[in-house]
Amino acid sequence: MADGPVAELLLRRLEASDGGLDSAELAAELGVEHQAVVGAVKSLQALGEVIEAELRSTKRWELTSEGEEIAREGSHEARVFRSIPPEGLAQSELMRLPSGKVGISKAMSNKWIRVDKSTADGPRVFRVVDSMEDEVQRRLQMVQRGQAEKLGEKERSELRKRKLLAEVTLKTYWVSKGSAFSTSISKQETELSPEMISSGSWRDRPFKPYNFLAQGVLPDSGHLHPLLKVRSQFRQIFLEMGFTEMPTDNFIESSFWNFDALFQPQQHPARDQHDTFFLRDPAEALQLPMDYVQRVKRTHSQGGYGSQGYKYNWKLDEARKNLLRTHTTSASARVLYRLAQKKPFTPAKYFSIDRVFRNETLDATHLAEFHQIEGVVADHGLTLGHLMGVLREFFTKLGITQLRFKPAYNPYTEPSMEVFSYHPGLKKWVEVGNSGVFRPEMLLPMGLPENVSVIAWGLSLERPTMIKYGINNIRELVGHKVNLQMVYNSPLCRLDAKPRPPPTQEAA
Amino acid sequence: MPTVSVKRDLLFQALGRTYTNEEFDELCFEFGLELDEITSEKEIISKEQGSVKAAGASDVVLYKIDVPANRYDLLCLEGLVRGLQVFKERIKPPVYKRVMPDGKIQKLIITEETAKIRPFAVAAVLRNIKFTKDRYDSFIELQEKLHQNICRKRALVAIGTHDLDTLSGPFTYTAKRPSDIKFKPLNKTKEYTACELMNIYKTDNHLKQYLHIIENKPLYPVISDSNGVVLSMPPIINGDHSRITVNTRNVFIECTGTDFTKAKIVLDIIVTMFSEYCEKQFTVEAAEVVFPNGKSYTFPELAYRKEIVRADLINKKVGIRETPENLAKLLTRMYLKSEVIGDGNQIEIEIPPTRADIIHACDIIEDAAIAYGYNNIQMTLPKTYTIANQFPLNKLTELLRHDMAAAGFTEVLTFALCSQEDIADKLGVDISATKAVHISNPKTAEFQVARTTLLPGLLKTIAANRKMPLPLKLFEISDIVIKDSNTDVGAKNYRHLCAVYYNKNPGFEIIHGLLDRIMQLLDVPPGEDKAGYVIRASEGPAFFPGRCAEIFAGGQSIGKLGVLHPDVITKFELTMPCSSLEINIEPFL
């Protein structure tokens, strides 16, 4: 029985008392440690309304161990006085006594003894009076009897200064009967068992209450990566909007599909070694669609399809150079080229989310590889207003409703617009994506009909994810240096949910 | 995107009014610029070199403005002001004229030696120009901006500007052996040969980036006047003799390069921007360039081109309904003087020499949309009706990754690029046996190859998370890359699934159980027959001897599982036993 004999005794005493009892007094009466009574009070409290206990704190004077010794054997000065015979004692001998050093000065100032330095064999101590009253011992004994209150403030503080007396705070309980008071209590059950259910004994048994403030035990489970949870949501959004997923499972791309097909000139800075990963092996693309390549070459070097072209010497060798794709637009170009070969033209909506690679300087927000999200619509007579309308629907699904559009320059879209959204936290407009209408110089050489427009937009997957999950360093999100605890702890991704208020300062 | 730094007060003075920062930011946004930063020379120096060095610097307010990469005409204060003033209809676009000189035309003769190194050159003269300190600084700064952008760090075009009054034409552009070129370059006190200069400039922070353009060529380009005075050694440095100053009145401009079109554009931009300060505003004195074949051309071209675009096409592409007259007005505000002609639906647009970025009707349409205001365009939804389809491989991946997590494994996301060591040495394989794709220009070893297996990424993730409670159960479903001459680019992605179990015991049975669960999910029964899967004892350098099996599904090998070799564990800086599984999931499509 967890509640033990002390609890039982407590209950019995309480039954007999009128009103209640004090835990410290009870401990004294039962001759047990006060802590044992406190334990009993706490375990009875846990049973509910059996008892009521009110915490009281009282201050008490207690003797120190030296004080107890003095109460028993007398003060040092008294002991010095008593040790001196009528014929006196050599001071050197007196100093050897345990109380000698402390007692001699006190006894002198009490004028109980005197020192005679004129004797032949060194100073000698003699009694001055025949008898004395040991006030210190008497006062300490009063405290011991619980009569500390009878001493004056000055007397108590003098004893305290001599480290004979100390004031202690005692926490006691005033225990009284509770509304369900009973002297016959039984042990509480912790958990419901199959036996209790079958025997029905649960009906008669008390159950120990749960501590609902404690944390539960987390389930053993696997977890999905936060960035890929966001990827799933973006896929879902595109699918809800009727967009078909493009194949993007080709990290290696030729310069032709990555740049030339997009009407990005061969001297463009993006084609620089400083920005793009080129391949040593396989260094060159083995096959290119040569008919189409000829049309692309002509458009770059001479123009055509209503364009002046860039008027430079377009080189096939440059187009053959293999690289790690710098954007998924290379995959979009392949898909649009395939769409152009299908006659008659059928309108299409496409999307992709996959990795792209840049040979750039790395920092807290830039890695050599990241994920690009891209949406494309191809149809007759698409306008800039359509592009903005699609973007509005797309960003609304992300929970972003305040949009505005800034003119911009992209090598392969014209018109181009950067998409800005108002960030209430930063109190300013921030760029959330880039968009535009693919240039005719890109579409017409593919063989798409002249009145077909293709609108497109793109954004990175990492940036919205970092904002969503409050991550400042991209390395904490992507790559092997990720903190798995962060992966374990990351919540569901609901992009259109209202952002939570910023977390209050909390230990990591 | 190039950033142009202009003094705010100078800008406002030229614009004829002041703006608050917010107002100017708004104007930039509307026009397609971005007010990137408001700063001062003092602030910049103090940020880069500390406040002590900044003590004496100017605290005049500077606006740093981001300019679209194809708008070379906005790369200086003069151009920005002209663009914005026309946009706000405060001025009419100036007309740039090429004029013949009163006396003899300046001549630049190109010799055939230049053919192999830098074959093109163009030239022009700004006559009776009046510089001030600010104008002069802007002139130098514009050349620097052009060099960094359209000139591709001087590789395509290099600009030289000279005090014409110190020289006497005709000028010769030729190429000589470096040892035969000797002159006093800018900012030096004595003459050096080209060889000496190339050495000196190796430690010059500004010039060293351009040396590679000619460094290993047998002949270096050089321009000199009729007395043999060296004007410049493009694309590296000008001569000191003809250096321009604030007091220079007549400027000879030469642009040499490997791209003729861009050289002409660069020359046009410089002369259109700074002819504003000539006595006869916006006129440029012609110069004659004689090519090695004897043909002679006059520059700058300053060509005005006319395009005709139908008004309804503009309306249709933008999604607005404006009258042809209004559209012509909008375009004129974008520095494209336009008028309605013909049947009243045709708009004739004049493209000035400053707008080399206009190469197609779509560029004109964009300008109409900008002037109309992007944010005034009515948003509509296209009626394009389509049925969405998932890419089958991604659909399978999405389904599998959810069930992998349900099986108690945690998803990681590792890099597709890594070091050779990761995919070869550390796994006990020779790099030549991996069929890996190699990158030619990695900045660090982390980007030497594309991964051929997902395992290293997972093991590195464990190494970075050794403090986490055991066991660690991780997985990744992502692409690896293998050389493959059957594809057009010579390489192919494969979608792999990799899982590892890391604990005080190897836990082979757990990884094996995971394989059984994956096969259950893929509806592949155990068994030797065609539809089933089976594992057979095998070996691999990455695995502990006798603890490796090859996985076959439908008779085809799809991967391996086993307990990792202690050497592999050690090389990835791990300390516990570990078992792994890696399969290609594409056969299950």
β-sheet bridge partners, residue A173: A55
- Give the Cβ contact number of residue A179 at 10 Å: 9
A17 and A69 together in one domain: no
Query: Span B72-76, mean pLDDT?
Result: 94
Query: Span A48-53, mean pLDDT?
Result: 81
Within a domain: B318: no
β-sheet bridge partners, residue A390: none
B279 and B142 together in one domain: yes
Task: Tell me whether residues B490 and A282 touch, CB distance under 8 A.
Answer: yes
The CATH number for A14's domain is 3.30.1370.240
Residue B156's pLDDT band (cuts 50, 70, 90)? very high
The two counts, helices (H) then strands (E), for chain A are: 19, 16
Tell the residue number behind the tokens 């300046």, with chain if given: B106
CB contact at 8 A, A251 and B490: no
Determine how β-strand A244-245 pairs with β-strand A322-324: unpaired
The CATH number for A253's domain is 3.30.930.10
* Residue B417: predicted pLDDT: 95
A234 and A129 together in one domain: no
A13 and A82 together in one domain: no
Q: What are the CA-CA distances from residue B367 to residues A162, A414, B82, B336 (Å)? A: 96, 10, 16, 9
Within a domain: A196: no
| Token pair belonging to A106 | 């006190």
Quick check: A500 pLDDT over 70? no
CB contact at 8 A, A185 and A44: yes
* Residue A1: predicted pLDDT: 37
A253 and A380 together in one domain: yes
Within a domain: B375: no
Chain A residues inside the 8 Å CB shell of B29:
404, 406
The answer for residues whose C-beta is within 8 angstroms of residue A227's C-beta and 6 or more apart is: A371, A461, A462, A465, A477, A478, B413
Q: Which of A335-349, A422-436, B475-489 has the lowest mean pLDDT?
A: A422-436
B332 and B464 together in one domain: no
Q: One-letter amino acid identity for A86?
A: P
* Residue A10: predicted pLDDT: 84
Quick check: A2 pLDDT over 80? no
Within a domain: B333: yes
| Token pair belonging to B296 | 């002679």
Look at residues A122, A145, A165 and tell me which one is the last residue of a structural domain: A165
- Alpha helices, DSSP H, located in A17-75: 23-30, 34-45, 65-73
A75 and A22 together in one domain: no
Within a domain: A256: yes
Task: Tell me whether residues A416 and B388 touch, CB distance under 8 A.
Answer: no
A39 and A86 together in one domain: no
SS3 of residue B411 by DSSP:
strand
Within a domain: B368: no
Task: Tell me whether residues A225 and B70 touch, CB distance under 8 A.
Answer: no
What phi, psi does A230 have (nearest 5°)? -70, -40
* Residue B559: predicted pLDDT: 96
Least CB–CB distance from A280: residue in B363, B438, B474:
B438
| B270-319 pLDDT tens trace | 999 999 999 999 999 999 999 999 999 999 999 999 999 999 999 999 99
A401 and A252 together in one domain: yes
Query: How far is residue B544's CA from residue B567's CA, in Å, rounded to a whole number?
Result: 9
Within a domain: A414: yes
Residue span of the structural domain in which B525 resides: 392-588
Task: Tell me whether residues B384 and A369 touch, CB distance under 8 A.
Answer: no
For chain B positions 62-91, those within 8 Å of chain A (CB to CB) are 68-71
B399 and B463 together in one domain: yes
Residue B147's pLDDT band (cuts 50, 70, 90)? very high
Least CB–CB distance from B393: residue in A249, A440, A479:
A249
Task: Tell me whether residues A307 and B261 touch, CB distance under 8 A.
Answer: no
Q: Which of A370-374, B41-45, B58-62, B358-362 has the lowest mean pLDDT?
A: B41-45
Query: Span B508-534, mean pLDDT?
Result: 94
Q: In degrees, to the nearest 5, what angle opens at C-alpha A180 toward C-alphas A175 and A185?
A: 85
Higher pLDDT, A323 or B169: A323
Total domains, chain B:
4
- Give the Cβ contact number of residue B354 at 10 Å: 24
Q: What are the CA-CA distances from residue B492 to residues A251, A282, B233, B450, B481 (Å)? A: 8, 11, 48, 11, 6
Residue A186's pLDDT band (cuts 50, 70, 90)? low
B450 and B527 together in one domain: yes
Higher pLDDT, B59 or A303: A303
* Residue A207: predicted pLDDT: 83
Least CB–CB distance from A239: residue in B378, B388, B411:
B388
Query: How far is residue B519's CA from residue B521's CA, in Å, rounded to a whole number?
Result: 5
Shortest Cα–Cα distance, A213 to chain B (Å): 25
* Residue A95: predicted pLDDT: 82
B481 touches chain A (CB under 8 A): yes
B120 and B104 together in one domain: yes
The CATH number for B147's domain is 3.50.40.10
Residue span of the structural domain in which A11 resides: 3-59+170-177
Q: Is A309 left (phi over 0), alpha (psi -120 to 50) or beta?
A: left
Chain B residues inside the 8 Å CB shell of A230:
none
Shortest Cα–Cα distance, A211 to chain B (Å): 26
Task: Tell me whether residues A307 and B404 touch, CB distance under 8 A.
Answer: no
The CATH number for B82's domain is 3.30.56.10
B58 and B137 together in one domain: no
Within a domain: A45: yes
Query: How far is residue B100's CA from residue B298's CA, in Å, rounded to a whole number?
Result: 10
B349 and B478 together in one domain: no
B356 touches chain A (CB under 8 A): no
B178 and B259 together in one domain: yes
The answer for residues whose C-beta is within 8 angstroms of residue A32's C-beta and 6 or more apart is: A6
Nearest-CA residue of chain A relative to B458?
Answer: A480
Mutate to test the interface with B, among A384, A416, A469 (most CBs of B within 10 A): A384
Least CB–CB distance from B412: residue in A225, A253, A408:
A225
β-sheet bridge partners, residue A429: A422
Within a domain: A496: no
Least CB–CB distance from B29: residue in A267, A284, A406:
A406
The CATH number for B456's domain is 3.30.930.10
ipTM: 0.91
Give every strand in the sheet of A452-460, ordered side by side. Answer: A244-245, A348-357, A369-380, A452-460, A428-438, A413-423, A403-407
Query: How far is residue A427's CA from residue A80's CA, in Å, rounded to a whole number?
Result: 85
Query: Span B66-76, mean pLDDT?
Result: 93
Q: One-letter amino acid identity for B99?
A: V
A260 and A157 together in one domain: no
Least CB–CB distance from B319: residue in A241, A303, A384:
A384
Higher pLDDT, B486 or A132: B486
| A408-434 pLDDT tens trace | 999 899 999 999 998 877 788 888 999
Task: Reply yes or no: is the peptide bond before residue B94 cis, omega within 30 of 0.
Answer: no
B263 and B411 together in one domain: no
- Give the Cβ contact number of residue B503 at 10 Å: 15
* Residue A483: predicted pLDDT: 93
A315 and A392 together in one domain: yes
Residue B533's pLDDT band (cuts 50, 70, 90)? very high
Query: How far is residue A93's CA from residue A100's CA, in Å, rounded to a whole number?
Result: 9
Within a domain: A149: yes
A91 and A26 together in one domain: no
B573 and B452 together in one domain: yes
B361 touches chain A (CB under 8 A): yes
β-sheet bridge partners, residue B479: B495
- Alpha helices, DSSP H, located in B450-577: 455-463, 508-521, 566-571
A421 and A473 together in one domain: yes
* Residue A505: predicted pLDDT: 46
Quick check: A92 pLDDT over 90? no
SS3 of residue B402 by DSSP:
helix
| Token pair belonging to B274 | 């700074």
B150 touches chain A (CB under 8 A): no
Look at residues B88, B115, B140 and tell me which one is the last residue of a structural domain: B88
Mutate to test the interface with B, among A266, A275, A279, A405 (most CBs of B within 10 A): A279
Least CB–CB distance from A484: residue in B152, B457, B465:
B465
Query: How far is residue B384's CA from residue A375's CA, in Å, rounded to a whole number?
Result: 14
Task: Tell me whether residues A414 and B360 touch, CB distance under 8 A.
Answer: yes
Task: Tell me whether residues B410 and A487 touch, CB distance under 8 A.
Answer: yes
Within a domain: B364: no
Write out B469-500 in H/E/C secondary structure.
CCCEEEEEEEEEEEECCCCCCCEEEEEEEEEE
A93 and A44 together in one domain: no
Within a domain: B459: yes
Shortest Cα–Cα distance, B476 to chain A (Å): 9
Shortest Cα–Cα distance, B226 to chain A (Å): 32
Within a domain: B239: yes
* Residue A506: predicted pLDDT: 44
Within a domain: A190: no
Look at residues B38, B64, B88 and tell me which one is the last residue of a structural domain: B88
B350 and B208 together in one domain: no
Quick check: A295 pLDDT over 60? yes
SS3 of residue A286 by DSSP:
coil
Least CB–CB distance from B490: residue in A248, A285, A377:
A285
Q: One-letter amino acid identity for A132?
A: M
Nearest-CA residue of chain A relative to B586?
Answer: A249
Total domains, chain A:
3
Within a domain: A391: yes
Query: Span B396-421, mean pLDDT?
Result: 96
DSSP B15: H
Which helix (H) or strand (E) segment holds residue B559: the answer is: strand B556-564
The answer for residues whose C-beta is within 8 angstroms of residue B117's C-beta and 6 or more apart is: B175, B214, B217, B219, B220, B221
First to last CA, chain B: 44
B38 and B168 together in one domain: no
Rounded to the nearest integer, the mean pLDDT of chain A is: 88
Closest among A417, A375, A101, A491 to B366, alpha carbons compared: A417
Residue A209's pLDDT band (cuts 50, 70, 90)? confident
β-sheet bridge partners, residue B387: none
The CATH number for A92's domain is 1.10.10.2330
| Token pair belonging to B463 | 């190494």
Chain B residues inside the 8 Å CB shell of A441:
360
CB contact at 8 A, B183 and B167: no
Nearest-CA residue of chain A relative to B259?
Answer: A312
CB contact at 8 A, B73 and B269: yes
The answer for residues whose C-beta is within 8 angstroms of residue B361's C-beta and 6 or more apart is: A306, A440, B307, B309, B313
Residue A499's pLDDT band (cuts 50, 70, 90)? low
Quick check: B508 pLDDT over 80? yes
| B176-209 pLDDT tens trace | 999 999 999 999 999 999 999 999 999 999 999 9
Higher pLDDT, A61 or B422: B422
What percent of chain B lies above the pLDDT cut of 90? 90
The answer for residues whose C-beta is within 8 angstroms of residue A211's C-beta and 6 or more apart is: none
Please tell me the total number of residues recorded for chain B in this structure.
589
| B88-103 pLDDT tens trace | 999 999 999 999 998 8
Within a domain: B386: no
Least CB–CB distance from B464: residue in A247, A286, A480:
A480
* Residue A54: predicted pLDDT: 86
For chain B positions 249-278, those within 8 Å of chain A (CB to CB) are 259-262
Query: Span B402-417, mean pLDDT?
Result: 96
CB contact at 8 A, B498 and B454: yes
